Chain A
Amino acid sequence: MFGGTGKRAFVRTDIPLRERLIGGFILLLLVGVGAGVFHKGQHFDPALFSLDPQFLDAGQPARTPAPLIAEEGEDRAGSRPAPVVPLAGPAPLPAAPVKATPAGSWWANLAPPGWKPQGEAEHFAPDNLYVKINGRAEQYLAYEVAGLECAGVVEDKGGFIDIFVYDMGTSLRAYGIFSVERPPEAAALDLGREGYKSGASFFFWQGRHYVQVVAGGEGEVFEQAGLLIARQVAGRLEDRGERIWGKEALPAAGQVQGSLQYFMRDALSLDFLGETFVARYREGGRELTVFLSRQETPGAAAQVLGKYLEYLKGYGAVEEGKDTPVHLGDLGGFYDAVFSQGRYVGGVSQAEDRDLALGWAERLAGQMANTED
């Protein structure tokens, strides 16, 4: 079946030299083509096959969607808990930071001896906050940050310290963001209204500002310079002595140091619970999570209580209080005790000891009943 050219009449044998030379030249050409193809193959731009990371640094966390729009009723205790996102407006355009005005500001003459200021101080508005701090902007926006000012100092060996001053608008919100960023075991410091040290970095809140003095390294040099800077900044920031209601309302006895936190919304990951303080308490070897929320009106507080009870019913049995304002939810091994008194809604969340939870909630309810508010 396969014939081929075996049946030729004549095969030429005398090959002239010129033909051989040309043949050799052509072979060299082929080798050249092959080498050229191979070379081209090894040299290529990796950005062809995956997105160049530098474009990710530009960061585009533009629009943040509103929470799910429920078409019927507001009960969301289903399989889709609301993500913690702030309600934001239309997509902001990335903008260059505006140069801040010098003199009379907290960053003037900030550099300690041996350090000098690095660049200009920068100012960011809420909608271009992410340009400076990327994904962390979301957290500050949740507390309605009004603006960020930042400056830096640098020393001869290249070490740097960055200072971030967030204008949170009110002391309550400054306290809020401070409290949620604070790690539970942080060493408390007498700095600003309240502060702590973490590594060689310092954090505090003062007036309506929240400040971070973030060291670019570890060690004695950074700690000394950082503390100096922090105290200077604290001294320059106004504090009108606004009171933080939750610190005063919740009892200090037994409160775990550094556990008190203020949430503007979604406290305990519950979307109906805003304006709430949450703290951990230690009693007799057991720990307890206690919360206290202050609403606009007693009616609003009653509504929040209603929603809380609905939520509890979704997961377990609820004992409505008969001669006590406290309602107890039994979630199969965990107990929530909750009450409302006047404008306040409060209680204990996820406790293992039923009696402890009940007792605590009743005491707290009693305390709030006596509060004129």
Chain B
Amino acid sequence: MERREFLRRVGLTGLAVAGGAGGAAWLYDPRRGDQYFRDQQVSQAHKLPSFRVERPSGSVDLAIARGSDPGQLARAAIGALGGMGSFISKGDVVLLKPNVAFDRAPLLGATTRPEVLKAVAVLCREAGARQVLVADNPINQPEGCFFKSGLQQAAAEVGAELVLPRASAFAPVEIGGEVLGTWPMFWEPLARADKVIGIAPCKDHNLCSGSMSMKNWYGLLGGRRNQFHQRIHGIVSDFPHMIKPTLVLLDASRVLMRNGPTGGSLGDVAERGTLIAGVDMVAVDTCGYTLLNRDPARLEYLHRAEARGLGSTRWRESSWREEQVG
């Protein structure tokens, strides 16, 4: 046999041997059972940055607007807080997080009102935002919810991008709360956003009594979030720890007084003509809870959150303003 032929054949076989051995060595996993499971928990979880803005001392932290036009209420409340410009910088990507959990018409008070979303989106653009995103992970079907609540059209009208909760948009996030550890969240819009604004309706809730700006963040959770109802006040009080939004709005222009959170009948809805905006979601919810004709002293998750230092129920002691609109 010729040398060249010899080298070729031995070389090829040698490569095959080396490749097999090397590949096996590279993929080798020596971990024992306990180490394997420990590693699983720490894998690739993201962390949420804070979306809060530094504000000059003496800024108004909570604003209550009263009147009949919800869009104007939103403008007035944000204006009273110092204007959207004190929150949004030029070129920001802003995520608006409405409550679109159910496929209800806007009149039924179970979802965020399109007029309020539009007003906030327009304000963001006026303050120089580069892009406005609208996202939520509904309980009912996403396409149907966004359409029937009028928010799909509202987003289109103001040029906002609707981000739908596709499977690939979720990623595990390390939260480290009382109830929430590391959990799959609707990560894509959060990763893209520089600022986050929550826009929640004010609703009765059969389990935790009030679904307002804190409960609104439930819509960012993925996975099997139907287990948290076993510790509902724990998880709602986890939300101000989980996310530090730039701003929250509690739209109580139309309030779902009972049969919440789904509603379903006009008789469940009352016109309350109020909108509350603020940077502390605990304060905003304390203020808004009275519009359900209930006493915030009895709402457990507010006090839990306060006890953990995540907000204050004593909004009256902070710097707040009330505006009458129209």
Contact = CB atoms under 8 A, between A and B. Distances in A.
Interface of A: 49-51, 53, 56-57, 59-62, 64-65, 77, 79-81, 83-85, 130, 134-139, 266, 268-270, 315, 331, 333-334, 350
A70 B148 CA distance: 37
B267 A81 contact: no
Nearest to A52: B105
Question: Which of A135, A136, A315, A334 has the most B CB atoms < 10 Å from its CB?
Answer: A135
Interface in B229-268: 233, 257-258, 265-268
A226 B126 CA distance: 42
Given A80-B209, A134-B267, 10 more contacts: A56-B107, A56-B266, A62-B267, A79-B208, A79-B209, A79-B233, A81-B294, A84-B293, A135-B257, A137-B267
B283 interface: no
B257 A83 contact: yes
Given A83-B257, A138-B257, A51 B267 contact: no
A135 B270 contact: yes
A60 B267 contact: yes
A79 B209 CA distance: 8
B267 A56 contact: no
B204 interface: yes
A51 B148 contact: yes
A138 B233 contact: no
A343 B36 CA distance: 70
A134 B293 contact: no
Interface stretch (B2-10, B49-57, B295-303): B295-303
Question: Which of B271, B293, B299 has the most A CB atoms < 10 Å from its CB?
Answer: B293
B192 interface: no
- Return the 9 tightest CB-CB contacts between A and B, nearest first: A61-B267, A269-B295, A50-B148, A59-B266, A84-B293, A79-B300, A81-B298, A269-B294, A135-B269
Contacts of B209: 79-81
A135 B271 contact: yes
B105 A61 contact: no
A80 B295 CA distance: 11
A50 B105 contact: yes
A134 B105 CA distance: 16
Interface in B156-190: none
B105 A56 contact: yes
B314 interface: yes
Nearest to B143: A49
A134 B294 CA distance: 22
Nearest to B66: A183
Contact of A61 (B266, B299, B314): B266
B265 to A, nearest CB: 5
A51 B264 CA distance: 11
B315 interface: no
Question: Which of A77, A268, A269 has the most B CB atoms < 10 Å from its CB?
Answer: A269
Given A79-B209, A83-B258, A56 B108 contact: yes
A135 B298 contact: no
Contacts of B295: 81, 268-270
Interface residues of B, number: 30
A102 to B, nearest CB: 31
Nearest to A315: B297
7 contacts: A49-B148, A56-B107, A60-B267, A80-B209, A84-B293, A134-B267, A138-B257
B147 interface: yes
Nearest to B267: A61
B107 A350 contact: no
Contacts of B105: 50-51, 53, 56
Contacts of A268: 295
B265 A61 contact: yes
Contacts of B265: 59-62
Interface in B291-326: 292-295, 297-300, 314
A350 B300 CA distance: 17
Contacts of A138: 257, 267, 270
Contacts of A61: 265-268
Contacts of B270: 135-136, 138-139
Nearest to B260: A83
B66 to A, nearest CB: 9
Contacts of B271: 135-136
Contacts of B314: 333
Question: Which of A50, A81, A85 has the most B CB atoms < 10 Å from its CB?
Answer: A81
A202 B227 CA distance: 51
Contacts of B107: 53, 56
Given A56-B105, A333-B314, A50 B208 contact: no
Contacts of B147: 49-50
Contacts of A84: 257, 293-294
A79 B235 CA distance: 14
Interface in B35-63: none
A59 B265 CA distance: 7
B267 A59 contact: yes
A331 B314 CA distance: 13
A334 B265 CA distance: 38
A75 B293 CA distance: 19
